[in-house]
Amino acid sequence: MPRIDLIETTLLDIPTIRGHVLSMTTMTAQSVVLVRVRFDDGSEGIGEGTSIGGLSYGGESAESIKLAIDHYIGPALMGHDGNDINGAIGIIERTVRGNPIARCAVEIALWDGLGRRLGVPVAQLFGGAVRPAMPVAWTLASGNSTTDIAEAEAMIEARRHNIFKLKIGKRDLKSDIAHVGAICAAVGDRASIRVDVNQAWDLATARRGVAMLEEIGVELAEQPVRAEFLRDLKALTDTSRLSIMADEVLQGPIDAMRVAANRSADVFAVKIGQSGGLRRGSEVIAIGQAAGLGLYGGTMLEAGVSTAAALQLFSTVETLHWGTELFGPLLLKDEILAEPIRYADFCVHLPQGPGIGVALDPDKVRFYRRDRGATLAP
Ligand code: MUC
Ligand code: MG
């Protein structure tokens, strides 16, 4: 029995390629918590957790993810059988309430370790991949319409992305609609345009906004109203011809059930971090499927490790109606994986090999770690 004998976290700060402007914050760097789990048979697994903009996006920050793992999850799992992931999830959930991203970061490392010991990809542990690659959106969020249009043109030309998500909600409605309209007009039918309001609108603004977005050819609006206001999300979903996607409201299967039960949204943005891990993420997916909702593989702007883990899970999903947005590593100025995840032909490709299929570049990890004085264990 391979017992867990070490759980170690490392906090990295990696600059982004440009400012990423969301309704609640502008990111110029991403903070990444790497997790290394070692088992007493010498095998290892890696995991990762990220949030967005410190504590401005949600209830977890990189620092809180690290603290939850170092002080609570790690000690609770010491000596546990590494092959018993369901048992480990039970221990984690009894030890730590909330903190889904911290829980997920450790769970990824457990799946990676198990997959490596068995010599199979994590997708195999979830029944096997049904696709080797998935459509991948890019977020246009420079804060400037001209820059965004140039970025979209370059992505289409390079055949990297033809799905674009626009971050709106920071400016007044009229300016946002003009911005989205300019991008829709520029790309025409060469791309799918979606927006993410990140909870910034009240219901009255959302009603007007969604109607205007529909007019200019936007396909989908993500979390237009506050996560707590499920009735407002439902009111929009009931009346809009545009598809409405739930994101921040989905913090695991129980929320998924609440949203699905009264059809408060048309689409689930499934995030492994926000769901509390791959196991709970797969349950969110199952609830969405059973309710006949659309599915989309979401991101917390993760680096390569968590992106690879999400790809392992999403590759097993029968129908990903809206594709994915697993572009996180491309938003970062530098790659921390030994071998980058492949983006080509408008798709992100599932990494091959056992576990989550990727390995870290130790030099990059050393370079970007916040605490550069300490040495990284091999
Ligand atoms: C979110 O709210 O969806 C995903 C892509 C992006 O640009 O921001 C994230 C968070
Ligand atoms: Mg979102």
Q: Is the pLDDT of residue 375 over 80?
A: no
**Full set of structural domains in the chain with CATH:** 4-122+361-368 (3.30.390.10), 124-349 (3.20.20.120)
Residues with CB under 6 A from ligand 1: 52, 139, 141, 196, 198, 247, 298-299, 301, 325
Q: Is the pTM here over 0.95, yes or no? A: yes
Alpha-carbon Rg for the chain, nearest whole angstrom, is 20
Look up 325 and say whether it is catalytic.
Answer: yes
ipTM: 0.99
Closest to 201 measured CA to CA, from 158, 178, 233: 233
66, 165, 167, 170: the catalytic one is 167
pLDDT in tens, 179-233: 999 999 999 999 999 999 999 999 999 999 999 999 999 999 999 999 999 999 9
Give the integer Cα–Cα distance in Å for 364 and 23. Answer: 31
Closest to 361 measured CA to CA, from 44, 34, 75: 34
pLDDT in tens, 105-148: 999 999 999 999 999 999 999 999 999 999 999 999 999 999 99
Closest to 370 measured CA to CA, from 3, 7, 15, 1: 15
Are 222 and 195 contacting, i.e. CB atoms less than 8 angstroms apart? yes
| Atom 2 of ligand 1: nearest residue by CA position | 198
Residue linked to tokens 């011809």: 241
| Atom 9 of ligand 1: nearest residue by CA position | 300
For residue 135, give the H/E element and its range.
Answer: strand 133-135
